[in-house]
Chains A and B, each alone.
Chain A
Amino acid sequence: MSFVTSVTETEVLGARALQRTLVRISHEIVERHSEGAPPVLIGMRTRGVPLAERIAQSISHFASAPPPTGALDISLHRDDIPLRNATAPLRTSVLPAAIDDRVIVLVDDVLFTGRSIRAALDALIDYGRPAAIELAVLIDRGHRELPIRPDYIGKNLPTHREDEVLVRLAETDGRDEVVLRSRTPAASAQT
């Protein structure tokens, strides 16, 4: 006997809401860093990278120059790879020349257990000693396993552990949207 699982998909953010959310995050970053050098925006591969670029673009509307951006691949610092295979291709990290004494805003699409952020912090420290590291996420879906807290949150989304949050971006997926995919056990089909 088998269980039939039904999958429901709910839109969390549409294209326009997603863009508005990023603009709001940009405002919050600018407000907090009105003095001193602009923070460095570092996107976590894969989808954190276009998000960081868009936030930088949006900040450039009220700053003299767009803030520097970078891209970080955390594969080599993950703690779950011995359990799970590293099947995603390794990509090159690209960081601005010096991050010493700069404020860094790490940008990721979904904050879940916090383990990726832990890996990103470890990787960043190998490049130098930033003045501070802040965290911006498009979606905070809860279920943290580590003491990690975001500074800028696009949207708080209550989820079940088994749910999937799918972030699609024009740059990587051809369109902008955030979808919540939940699996709910349904009555098995009659035979």
Chain B
Amino acid sequence: MTEVLQLLIYGIVLGSIITLGAVGLSLIYGIVRFANFAHGDMMTAGAYFAFFFVVTLELPMFVGFPLAMAGGALLAVALDRVLFRRLRRTSPVVLLISSFGVALMLRAAIQLVWGPSVQVYEAGIEFPIRFLGLGIKPDQLHILGGSVVIVVALHLFLQRSRTGKAMRAMSDNVALARVSGIDTERVILWTWVIGAALTAAAGVFLAIDTQLHPVMGWRLLLPVFAAAILGGIGKPYGALAGGMVIGIAQEMSTLVISPGYKPAIAFAIMVVMLILRPAGLLGARR
């Protein structure tokens, strides 16, 4: 029983990381209207930006973390200006190819700058806090707390702010949003900023929980997509639920199958979901 609860805790930690990535992916899918295959590597980029601020410049994490999110947002906006915006005008499927290329280029660039080996923000072993036979590391508590703060902030932004409302409107119906006077290009820009900042945050959390490596984000791309699809891709609130389900299922799966196949669980859930309810858990059939 303790083992199950312990895995549940790890699952929630992983789930909150996946959730942040999936919400960003889902927003971008819903508004910019393409499946961004560079999402995982944008996550990696966020983690390495934080590495630059925290390790190279020796800033404290609470300063480096928002700076890394800003860096991730800037990177996404730059990619949109240079590539994606131009390609959007031709054909949306070209965007898929381009983003797949961007994913590999980002990874190559990160490897060039920071090297191919594993790195950490802080060396040393952290001792978990023990409670009723369960353990959780302080870092993992920080990840959970940080994720909750970010998700609440996002919720307030989407519900209260003008831009957030415009984003939801555009996600529901682009044509309708445009005729009601919404500047769609501006909303797309904001979507990149927010989606990429969330993704960068997920990357930093992932690096805190595990370690930095140039393929860390690519390895998480499949779970993130699975979470977004589970929640009904294009629906950020669904991605919240999807991320938790995928995270917990991946950790729990080690009770039953070899840990080597942990990443396959996300795929299995996604396939079952695609067969049973392609519109997602919360999604109605369109």
Do these two chains interact? no
- Residue ranges of B at the interface with A (Cβ–Cβ < 8 Å): none
